[in-house]
Amino acid sequence: MGADQTERVLDYPIPGPEVLEPPREWEELRRGCPVAHVRLPSGDPARLVTRYEDVKQVLSDPRFTRQLNAEGAARISESETGGVFNSDMAARVPDTGEEHRQWRRLVGKWFTAKRMTALRPRIEAMADQLVDGMVEHGTPADLKAHLGFPLPVWVICDMLGVPDADRDRFSHWSDALLNLTRYTPEEMERAQTEFDAYMTGHVEAKRAEPQDDLISSLITEVAEAGADLPGPALVATSMGLLVAGHETTANMIGKMVAMLLDDRSRWESLVADPSLVRTAVEESLRYDANGGVGLPRYITEETEIGGTTVPAGTTVMCSMSAANRDGSAFEDADGMDLGRSPNPHLTFGSGAHACLGQALARTELQVVLEVLLRRLPTLELAVPAAELRPVDGLIVGGLSEVPVRW
């Protein structure tokens, strides 16, 4: 290892040998080069951290943010659109300090564990309805298109108080706005205009007649505090939740099911003992080797990471997926253990910015798994795992389709 290893510049992200397998380089990097020099798709240089302790340290350090608009900060790519961690998200969700804390407090109360328990039966009914549709379509079917993709956006509609009748339109806008499946620039622009018009009307309707939903409660609370949250800020929060919560959860549903079916003994052990669902979801979140590019942090003052001094002005990429396979943090890190507990994986980040929607994401993943185990215990992959293809785009990793039969 030593000096020349540190000098080597890797192209990042590093592709895995197969879509469900981790790149071989992770282990080498964690062991020999924990703060590696990498080149991002934009061509900009950055440092990559892969060890559990280091990733956790950088993500939980309140001095460093994901805001990559600082002068000198690296860009991930020239053209990436959508996705939770890029400028889109930074522009919609306040990023630092008091403003961020206030925003989290206002929105966070809609994501508490208690709310999730109350929401659970509704999510289950949605999942059942989507599985009905998939069964009606007939085997084989693409689980992502039938279940993984529509469920998270329906759930967000529910929280925002968007009526059921408008769900499909909303789902289309989210798809086009985030460019989840290919759209032309004109289609994306039209979706943006329609979404803005719809949400502006929706916000005004809630202002006139508040109900039990997130938008109404934001309006009422801010008004009680003697302030006014303008319509565009509410539209932006709705958009922020879609950006953060749709693509991530949709892809995770697909990957989770694919991992559990790839070695079918995993699926069978869940059919035999559904009480493993909770820990199996956590282990799927940890084991996912295709977690996307990771989280960027812009280092504003010189700091030490894993024994290396990193100067101010550096962009550090934190690979949660590599950290989640670190043998010094997880016993048998490359084995999938559906009963693993505790499982302090870093898939939702760490510290003050840790995923606000994680209780919701967990609930959705658990419900999807429970419903599938109950409805389609004979589920299996309809193609060999080696034929599964990654989605286009690098920010959020996922599978383009998850063909299943039952």
* Residue ranges in contact with ligand HEM by CB under 6 A: 59, 66, 84-85, 93, 104, 152, 156, 241, 244-245, 248-249, 252, 295, 347-349, 353, 355-357, 360-361
Centre a 10 Å sphere on the Cβ of residue 378 and count the other Cβ atoms it contains: 9
Contacting other proteins (CB under 8 A), which of 42, 87, 139, 358?
Answer: 358
Question: Do residues 348 and 358 make contact, with C-beta atoms less than 8 angstroms apart?
Answer: yes
Contacting other proteins (CB under 8 A), which of 55, 119, 359, 395?
Answer: 359
Contacting other proteins (CB under 8 A), which of 322, 355, 376, 404?
Answer: 355
Task: Give the Å distances, CA to CA, from 299 to 26, 86, 162, 352.
Answer: 23, 16, 40, 16
Select from ligand HEM, other proteins, none the partner in contact with residue 112, using the beta carbon and a kind-dependent cut-off of 5 to 8 Å: other proteins
Question: Do residues 131 and 368 make contact, with C-beta atoms less than 8 angstroms apart?
Answer: no
Q: 4: alpha, beta or left, given left = phi > 0 and alpha = psi -120 to 50?
A: alpha
The CA distance from 305 to 311, in Å, is: 10
Given the complex with ligand HEM, which of 102 and 181 has the nearer CB atom? 102
The CA distance from 37 to 382, in Å, is: 40
The CA distance from 177 to 377, in Å, is: 35
Select from other proteins, ligand HEM, none the partner in contact with residue 341, using the beta carbon and a kind-dependent cut-off of 5 to 8 Å: other proteins
The CA distance from 102 to 109, in Å, is: 11
The CA distance from 385 to 398, in Å, is: 13
Select from other proteins, ligand HEM, none the partner in contact with residue 249, using the beta carbon and a kind-dependent cut-off of 5 to 8 Å: ligand HEM
Select from other proteins, ligand HEM, none the partner in contact with residue 156, using the beta carbon and a kind-dependent cut-off of 5 to 8 Å: ligand HEM
First to last CA, the chain: 49
Given the complex with other proteins, which of 84 and 355 has the nearer CB atom? 355
> Would you state the structure tokens that stand for residue 42, as one six-digit string?
């934009």
Contacting other proteins (CB under 8 A), which of 179, 284, 324, 350?
Answer: 350
Select from other proteins, ligand HEM, none the partner in contact with residue 66, using the beta carbon and a kind-dependent cut-off of 5 to 8 Å: ligand HEM
Q: Which of residues 269-298 bind other proteins (CB under 8 A)?
A: none
CB of 139 to ligand HEM, least distance (A): 26
Given the complex with other proteins, which of 54 and 142 has the nearer CB atom? 54
For the chain, the residue count is 406
Q: Is 60 in the site for other proteins (CB under 8 A)?
A: yes
Q: 182: alpha, beta or left, given left = phi > 0 and alpha = psi -120 to 50?
A: beta
Select from ligand HEM, other proteins, none the partner in contact with residue 342, using the beta carbon and a kind-dependent cut-off of 5 to 8 Å: other proteins
Select from other proteins, ligand HEM, none the partner in contact with residue 311, using the beta carbon and a kind-dependent cut-off of 5 to 8 Å: none
Given the complex with other proteins, which of 309 and 341 has the nearer CB atom? 341
Centre a 10 Å sphere on the Cβ of residue 355 and count the other Cβ atoms it contains: 18
Lookup result for tokens 């079916």: 261
Given the complex with other proteins, which of 116 and 369 has the nearer CB atom? 116
The CA distance from 38 to 48, in Å, is: 6
Contacting other proteins (CB under 8 A), which of 177, 239, 362, 373?
Answer: 362
Select from other proteins, ligand HEM, none the partner in contact with residue 79, using the beta carbon and a kind-dependent cut-off of 5 to 8 Å: none
**For residue 379, what is the enclosing H or E element?**
none
Question: Do residues 365 and 281 make contact, with C-beta atoms less than 8 angstroms apart?
Answer: yes
Judged by CB under 8 A, the stretch of 85-93, 257-265, 347-355, 388-396 that binds other proteins is 347-355
Task: Give the Å distances, CA to CA, from 124 to 8, 79, 131, 147, 310.
Answer: 49, 37, 10, 12, 47
Q: Is 344 in the site for other proteins (CB under 8 A)?
A: yes
Q: Which of residues 106-135 bind other proteins (CB under 8 A)?
A: 106, 108-109, 111-114, 116
**For residue 164, what is the enclosing H or E element?**
none
Q: Is 223 in the site for other proteins (CB under 8 A)?
A: no
Site size with other proteins, rule: CB under 8 A: 27
Select from ligand HEM, other proteins, none the partner in contact with residue 252, using the beta carbon and a kind-dependent cut-off of 5 to 8 Å: ligand HEM
CB of 225 to ligand HEM, least distance (A): 20
Grouping H, G, I as helix, E, B as strand and the rest as coil, residue 13 is coil
The CA distance from 168 to 170, in Å, is: 5
Residues that bind other proteins (CB under 8 A): 60, 104-106, 108-109, 111-114, 116, 341-344, 348-356, 358-359, 362
